[in-house]
Amino acid sequence: TMTYQTTIKKEYTFEGKGLHSGKISKMKLKPAAAGTGIRFVRVDIGPDALVEALATNVSSTARSTTLSQGEASIQTIEHLLSALTGLGVDNVEVEIDNVEAPILDGSAKPYTDAICADGLQILDEPRKFIEIDRVFEWTNPETGAYLRLEPSETTEYNLKIDFNSKVMGVQQAHWNPSVDFATEIAPCRTFCFFHEIEYLLAHNLIKGGDVDNALVIVEHPVPEERIKQLGAMIGRPEIKVKDGYLVDSLHFSNECSRHKMLDLIGDLRLTGGFLKAKVTAFKSGHTINTKVARMVCEALATK
């Protein structure tokens, strides 16, 4: 059976603060013609400030994925790209008026909720899958982290994370197109460790909402007053540590690995489309994900 390209049925607007820049941005998703792919327009710079969602445009992977083309950059695009990929959206034009996509609740759920409510528009152009004819892989010898893509007739993603954390343990996640992305992957929030934000807390650098949209893992006992102080700062006086996690209860026992899967699906969309491959990831993050996506882009460009 032929798979046809899709786009969204109408415009959607999302507004909010960027996780890393702290800047407020307004982002509009607009339907786009077959063959457009996913592209961003920095409307604050001008109508031609275009950035295509391709790994060859990745300019930074420090804590999130940033794309740059010409003078235009756009940061933290992985959750949106993941939602579009998980829902099977080929073509979208994204207008944004600042440097970073809004973090919203730290997951992809706001995107999938909006798009799923209307369904997709089917276009009359067949989908071109990204197919590979050899193995692409990258390993970080220091951490043992790796990502491997093997040729396959179908799409299969397997991921394992190990942060040497008693709270989190070793977690795994799986995804293929028969898994319902909107319910199984999209709601999973980004996470960080309490010790990573402790310094920020001690120096009054926590901006409101910094941990409102993230799971915070508390690896070691923390004084009660420290937690109270954090709660007061983010306007959540009722905040508690529960089973080693701060803020909310977990959506899934392996929510952290599912969020890493969310990131991986978004980053691998930067190959330029829907990847047909068997994907195996161990402890991989944005740097490794986008390196491998870039290798695929470059190999396809020389064909």
Q: Which residues are catalytic?
A: 286
Exposure b/e, 30-55, CB count within 10 A at least 16 = b: bbbebebbbbbbbbeeeeebebebbb
Continuous H helices in the chain: 78-86, 109-118, 181-184, 194-202, 224-233, 255-268, 286-301
- Measured between alpha carbons, how far is 254 from 172 in angstroms, rounded to an integer? 7
Coil, helix or strand for 36? Answer: coil
Q: Name residue 94's beta-bridge partners.
A: 29, 40
| Interatomic CA distance for residues 251 and 101, integer angstroms | 23
Q: What are phi and psi of 25, to 5 degrees?
A: -135, 155
> Which residues 6+ apart lie within 8 Å of 155 measured at CB?
176, 177, 274, 275, 276, 277, 279
Distance, in Å, from the CA atom of 227 to the CA atom of 261, rounded to the nearest integer, reads: 29
- With left for phi above 0 and alpha for psi between -120 and 50, is residue 175 left, alpha or beta? beta
Q: Is the dihedral of CA 12, 18, 22, 23 positive or negative?
A: negative
Picking from 134, 136, 156, 132, the residue whose alpha carbon sits closest to that of residue 146 is: 136
Largest CA distance in the chain: 61
Burial classification of residue 153, based on how many CB atoms lie within 10 Å of its CB (0-12 exposed, 13-18 middle, 19 or more buried): exposed
The residue among 126, 136, 96 whose CA lies nearest residue 12 is 96
